[in-house]
Amino acid sequence: MIRCLFTFLIYVIIISPLYPQRADAGDPSNCIFRTMEDYLDDVCDTSDKPYVDKVFDRGGRVKKYILKTRRDNKKLKKAFAALIDGELYIQIYPITRNLAKKDRLPSSRYTSDFLKVLSWGVYDYLEYDGDSYNRSGSGIGIGGGGVSTGIGLGLSLGGGGGDRIRGMIFDPDNQEFNVFRNCKDFNEFLLERHPEFSYECKKKKIKLNQIRSIIGQINGAQNPANDVDVDEENSKLITIFPHRSIVKHPCALLIAGEEWEFDDLTVLDTRVACDEVINICVNGTEVCVEASCEDDVVYYLVSRDRETDTFSVEPSDADEHKYYTALLERRKKRGK
């Protein structure tokens, strides 16, 4: 008995700390998006905790990362993306497999490596060094933009050698990575999707920080919250927040007869008068949910079915609210 106890103490004190511990389940800031579909639907696997094991080209303008999982301390090979302490990493393999038809990237021996996303929002903005895919050179990297203006490099696209860096986005609607090959290509994208940001290309080349700035403005748009003048003593505060499925698909909500614009960056905090039943409806449809002081529901989630393009408004819980508003806050933060 004493021998068994002694052996157990040795394991706990000396041996056990040498092995990684199982991930804390349910932590949305440390999880794995196994597939692109999971990423689009915000289904992040929290059963294991990813971490950064190695960083290549630390001093360069572009970095690549090897990720491992704490459960078995093995390299993460098959995944679309991973969240680590609130930062997003996308694997190279799904990038090369999901390029827009007109775009091409050199092949790589290190497709299981990850790229750190420094910004996200309507689009995830990345940058690609067309001269090198190896770990010792500049490689591929993520730049700012997205929900952030990012790193302040002023390199021109289409330059020679290792300076040939191109901007690239992940387009959630088309489920593809779109490479901006030159100024004309980028401006055509703006004319089609965001004409208010289009401009005349005076040269074929384009400044990298110009792409970052424009994508940052696209992703950083915000809508005002709902401030309704209701007696606080005879009312209940409710919060309406967005699912990522409504990115680039805004709608209008009718709340107590008032219309409010709603998109993926909107969180509406409003008060419901306790002396009446208030319906939250998607304007122009029969999709409604009833909100009242008689129940304990505080949160309501607005979602969209991608196949039918129909919206829904449903009661939600605190965990979902925390998860989706954390994503929203990261988009806003990187939009500054």
- Whether residue 207 is found in the same domain as residue 251: no
Does residue 142 sit within a domain?
yes
- Whether residue 269 is found in the same domain as residue 133: no
- Whether residue 132 is found in the same domain as residue 236: no
**pLDDT tens series, the chain, 336 aa:** 555 544 444 443 443 333 333 233 345 678 999 999 999 888 899 998 999 999 887 665 667 889 999 888 899 999 999 999 888 899 989 998 999 988 887 666 778 888 887 677 788 988 776 444 445 444 444 433 333 333 323 333 333 334 467 788 999 889 999 988 889 999 999 999 888 888 888 777 877 778 887 887 777 643 333 334 455 667 888 889 899 888 888 999 988 777 888 888 888 888 777 777 788 999 888 899 988 888 888 899 999 998 899 999 999 988 888 777 777 776 665 543
- Whether residue 184 is found in the same domain as residue 300: no
Does residue 6 sit within a domain?
no
The answer to whether 221 and 248 have CB atoms below 8 angstroms apart is: no
0.75 exceeded by the pTM? no
- Whether residue 105 is found in the same domain as residue 209: yes
- Whether residue 176 is found in the same domain as residue 252: no
Residue where a domain stops, chosen among 219, 242, 267? 219
Does residue 48 sit within a domain?
yes
pLDDT of amino acid 3? 53
The answer to whether 289 and 279 have CB atoms below 8 angstroms apart is: yes
Residue where a domain stops, chosen among 150, 185, 219? 219
Does residue 9 sit within a domain?
no
Residue where a domain stops, chosen among 219, 253, 288? 219
| Alpha carbons 86 and 118: distance in angstroms, whole number | 10
CA distance readout (Å), 65 to 97, 135, 264 = 19, 10, 29
251-255 β-sheet, strand order: 258-262, 251-255, 278-282, 288-291
- Whether residue 318 is found in the same domain as residue 244: yes
What does residue 248 show for φ and ψ, rounded to 5 degrees? 65, 15
Number of domains composing the chain: 2
How many CA atoms are closer than 13 Å to the CA of 55, on its beta-carbon side? 12
For 117-159, the pLDDT digits (tens) are 767 778 898 877 644 444 544 444 443 333 333 332 333 333 3
- Whether residue 143 is found in the same domain as residue 260: no
- Whether residue 264 is found in the same domain as residue 173: no
Comparing CA positions, the residue from 101, 96, 97 lying closest to residue 128 is: 96
What does residue 48 show for φ and ψ, rounded to 5 degrees? -140, 150
- Whether residue 109 is found in the same domain as residue 243: no
- Whether residue 152 is found in the same domain as residue 42: yes
Does residue 4 sit within a domain?
no
The answer to whether 127 and 154 have CB atoms below 8 angstroms apart is: no
The distance from CA 49 to its chain's CA centroid, rounded to whole angstroms, is: 18
Query: Which residue segment(s) compose the domain that 252 sits in?
Result: 232-333
Residue type, 183: C
Does residue 122 sit within a domain?
yes
Does residue 119 sit within a domain?
yes
Does residue 146 sit within a domain?
yes
- Whether residue 169 is found in the same domain as residue 54: yes
| Alpha carbons 24 and 74: distance in angstroms, whole number | 17
Looking at the DSSP assignment, which residues form a beta bridge with residue 51?
68
